[in-house]
C-alpha cells in the first residue's frame, strides 16, 4: 500500500522568529542539523557546514559531494564579508577539439563526460576550518546518520525521481539507488545511501586528502575512466577553493553584496541598477508596468552576463564599468515601456533543471552565512560513481564550444555559474541573507524577491510566497496562476507571450532567507513552500 504524507506538498510556511540563531534551508532535516549545532554552541559557519553536508544527503538530486558550492560569510567582529569559491574546474583533457572529434559538436548533458572536478567537499571543509569552531566529525554526523539509517521520501522527492526515471534507468548504480525493484522511490518509503555513508565517514576521519588524493579520489577517477569520462586523479588532486572579495552595488539605500565571476551574481546587480531609475511606487500602483520593466531589465542583464562572465583567471571582465550607475542608465534607456523586446541574450541556451539548493545561517553573535550548492541539472549527469554513492555533476555542459566566446571551454577553466548567494546591508548593518535555486531563473527570482522586500509593504514570508514569473527565452513568459488575469492581459498587450503554470511551481525556485532586525535583536526566517524549504530559529 502506498504511504501518504500528512502535509500537503505546498503548505504555507510561517514567518519564523528567533533571538539566538536561525537556519533556513531547502529541507527541514538539514535546517534541523544546523540548529542542533547552534544549540551546542557552534557559530553560523558551523551551522552552515552541517546544513550543507546534510543537504547533500536529503536532496542528493540537487546538490552533493559530486557538485560545487559558493559561500558569502559575514563576520560581525571584523565587520566584513568574505566569499568562498568552491567551484570545480574542467578536466585537463576537456578540450574543444576533443568534443569536435566526437562528431556531435556539442558537450553531452548526461553521463560521465560532462563532469568537472567536484569542489563542494573542499568548500564545506574550508568553511568550517577557517570560520567555524567545531570539528568536522561533529558537523558531518547528521549527514552520516541520515545516509546510513535513511530518511522518509517526501512527495516532492518522489516526484523528482519519477520525472527523471528514464535518465536514472540508464545506469546500473543510479537505478539501484533511486529505482529499487525497477520503480521510482515512493512517498513514505525510507531512503538509505550506504555507499555515500561510507564516503562521508572516510572524509570525516581523513579530511580533504581522502576525497581529493586518497581512496575516494581513486574510486571516482577509476569510475570515470572506465566509463569513458575525462576526470582523472590528477584533476582531483589539483583542486583548490579560493577565498574572494564580493562585488557590490546599491539599490534604494541598501548595499547588495554578490558573488563575483565566475558566478552570475553580477547580473543581479546589473538588473537592480537598471530598475533603480524607475519610479518605485509602480510595484504597488501598477503591477503590470513593474513586471514588464523587471522582465526587460532581466533580459539586458543576462545579455551582458552571457557576453562577459566566465573564469576571471582566463578572461578580462570590466567589472567597474559594468557596475557603474552610468552603465545602468545606458541600459535602462533601451527598455521600451510599451513593448516586450525580442530575444536579446547571446550565447548558447543552457539546459534547465532543478539543480541547486540554498541555505542561510545566523548565530547569536550576529554572524551570517549565505550559501548555495549544486550538481547543475537535476541528478547531475544521471550517473553514480560506482560504490561511492556520489551523483556526479554535469557542469561541463555550461561551457560553450563557440570560438571567441568568453565562456568557451578550456582545460582547467571554471565555467560561468548561475549560483549566486546574496547578502544585503543597510550601511554597515546586515539586513538580509537570501538565495534561490532555479538555474537560469535565479537572477529573475531574486529581482522579484529583493525589489518587493526593499520597497516595503510585506513581511519576508509573504514576499517569498508571492506569485512569480519567469522569462528564459524571447517573449515567452511563464507565470504562476495566482497572478491576476488583468495583469496578465496587460503584459500580453505589450507583446509578452504569457503561459500560466501551476499556482506553486518549483520552476519558480525555492527561496530561503534570513532577515536581521537589529533594533529588536531578532532574526526572521522565511522559506519557500514551492519545494521543501524550512526555517528554524531559537
Distance in angstroms (rounded) separating the CA atoms of residues 514 and 527: 9
Distance in angstroms (rounded) separating the CA atoms of residues 424 and 370: 10
CA angle 146, 147, 151 (to 5 degrees): 50
Please give the grid coordinates belonging to residue 218: 581513486
Burial (0-12, 13-18, 19+ Cβ within 10 Å), 333? exposed
Rg (CA), the chain: 22
Prior bond to 262 cis, omega within 30?
yes
Residue 206: partners with Cβ closer than 8 Å, 6 or more residues away: 214
Distance of CA 309 to the CA centre of its chain: 17
Please give the grid coordinates belonging to residue 318: 570590466
Q: Coil, strand or helix: which one is 35?
A: helix
Is the separation of the CB atoms in 121 and 110 below 8 Å? no
Is the separation of the CB atoms in 193 and 57 below 8 Å? yes
CB atoms within 10 A of CB 218: 12
Q: What is the DSSP letter of 433?
A: E
Residue 135: partners with Cβ closer than 8 Å, 6 or more residues away: none
Distance in angstroms (rounded) separating the CA atoms of residues 322 and 114: 31
Strands (E), 380-473: 422-426, 429-435, 469-470
Please give the grid coordinates belonging to residue 395: 557542469
Distance in angstroms (rounded) separating the CA atoms of residues 378 and 473: 20
Is the separation of the CB atoms in 5 and 156 below 8 Å? no
Phi, psi of 273 (to 5 degrees): -60, -40
Distance in angstroms (rounded) separating the CA atoms of residues 119 and 50: 17
166 given a catalytic annotation = no
CA angle 519, 516, 143 (to 5 degrees): 145
Which one of the listed residues 51, 54, 356, 418 is annotated catalytic?
A: 356
Burial (0-12, 13-18, 19+ Cβ within 10 Å), 212? buried
Say how many residues make up the chain: 538
Is the separation of the CB atoms in 494 and 416 below 8 Å? no
Q: Coil, strand or helix: which one is 361?
A: strand
Phi, psi of 313 (to 5 degrees): -75, -15
Q: What is the DSSP letter of 350?
A: P
The residues annotated with a catalytic role in the active site are 356
Amino acid at each position: 500500500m502506498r504511504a501518504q504524507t500528512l502535509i500537503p506538498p505546498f503548505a504555507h510556511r510561517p514567518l519564523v522568529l528567533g533571538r539566538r540563531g536561525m537556519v533556513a534551508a531547502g529541507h527541514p532535516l538539514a535546517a534541523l542539523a544546523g540548529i542542533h549545532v547552534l544549540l551546542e554552541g557552534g557559530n553560523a559557519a558551523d551551522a552552515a557546514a552541517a546544513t550543507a553536508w546534510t543537504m547533500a544527503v536529503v536532496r542528493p538530486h540537487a546538490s552533493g559531494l559530486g557538485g560545487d558550492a559558493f559561500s558569502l560569510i559575514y563576520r560581525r567582529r571584523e565587520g566584513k564579508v568574505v566569499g568562498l569559491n568552491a567551484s570545480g574546474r574542467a578536466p585537463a583533457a576537456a578540450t574543444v577539439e576533443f568534443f569536435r572529434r566526437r562528431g556531435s559538436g556539442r558537450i553531452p548533458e548526461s553521463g560521465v563526460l560532462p563532469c568537472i572536478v567536484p569542489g563542494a567537499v573542499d568548500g564545506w571543509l574550508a568553511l568550517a576550518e577557517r570560520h567555524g569552531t567545531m570539528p568536522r566529525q561533529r558537523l558531518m554526523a547528521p549527514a552520516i546518520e541520515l545516509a546510513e539509517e535513511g530518511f522518509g521520501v517526501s512527495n516532492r522527492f518522489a516526484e523528482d525521481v519519477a520525472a527523471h526515471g528514464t535518465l536514472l534507468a540508464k545506469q546500473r548504480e543510479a537505478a539501484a539507488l533511486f529505482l529499487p525493484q525497477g520503480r521510482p522511490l515512493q512517498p513514505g518509503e525510507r531512503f538509505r545511501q550506504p555507499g555515500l555513508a561510507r564516503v562521508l565517514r572516510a572524509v570525516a576521519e581523513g579530511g580533504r586528502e581522502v576525497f581529493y588524493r586518497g581512496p575516494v579520489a581513486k574510486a571516482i577517477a577509476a569510475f570515470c575512466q572506465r566509463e569513458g569520462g575525462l576526470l582523472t586523479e590528477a584533476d582531483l588532486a589539483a583542486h583548490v577553493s579560493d577565498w574572494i572579495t564580493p562585488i557590490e552595488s546599491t539599490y534604494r539605500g541598501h548595499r547588495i553584496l554578490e558573488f563575483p565571476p565566475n558566478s552570475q551574481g553580477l547580473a543581479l546587480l546589473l538588473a537592480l541598477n537598471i530598475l533603480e531609475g524607475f519610479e518605485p511606487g509602480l510595484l504597488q500602483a501598477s503591477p503590470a508596468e513593474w513586471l514588464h520593466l523587471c522582465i526587460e531589465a532581466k533580459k539586458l542583464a543576462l545579455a551582458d552576463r552571457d557576453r562577459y562572465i566566465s573564469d576571471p583567471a582566463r578572461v578580462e571582465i570590466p567589472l567597474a564599468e559594468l557596475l557603474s550607475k552610468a552603465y545602468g542608465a545606458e541600459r535602462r534607456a533601451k527598455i521600451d515601456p510599451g513593448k516586450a523586446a525580442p530575444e536579446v541574450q547571446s550565447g548558447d541556451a543552457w539546459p534547465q533543471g532543478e539543480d541547486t539548493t540554498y541555505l542561510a545561517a545566523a548565530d547569536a553573535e550576529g554572524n551570517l552565512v549565505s550559501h548555495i550548492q549544486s550538481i547543475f541539472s537535476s541528478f547531475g549527469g544521471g550517473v553514480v560513481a560506482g560504490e561511492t554513492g556520489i551523483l556526479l555533476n554535469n557542469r561541463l555542459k555550461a561551457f560553450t564550444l563557440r570560438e571567441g566566446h568568453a565562456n568557451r571551454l578550456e582545460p582547467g577553466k571554471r565555467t560561468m555559474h548561475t549560483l549566486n548567494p546574496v547578502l544585503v546591508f543597510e550601511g554597515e548593518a546586515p539586513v538580509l541573507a537570501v538565495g534561490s535555486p532555479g538555474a537560469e531563473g535565479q537572477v529573475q527570482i531574486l529581482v522579484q524577491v529583493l525589489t518587493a522586500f526593499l520597497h516595503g509593504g510585506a513581511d519576508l514570508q509573504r514576499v517569498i510566497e508571492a506569485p512569480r514569473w519567469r522569462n528564459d527565452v524571447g517573449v515567452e513568459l511563464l507565470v504562476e496562476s495566482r497572478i491576476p488575469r488583468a495583469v496578465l492581459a496587460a503584459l500580453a498587450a505589450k507583446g509578452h507571450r504569457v503561459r500560466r503554470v501551476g499556482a506553486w511551481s518549483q520552476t519558480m525556485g525555492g527561496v530561503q532567507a534570513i532577515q536581521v532586525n537589529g533594533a529588536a535583536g531578532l532574526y526572521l526566517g522565511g522559506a519557500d513552500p514551492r519545494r521543501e524549504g524550512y526555517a528554524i530559529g531559537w
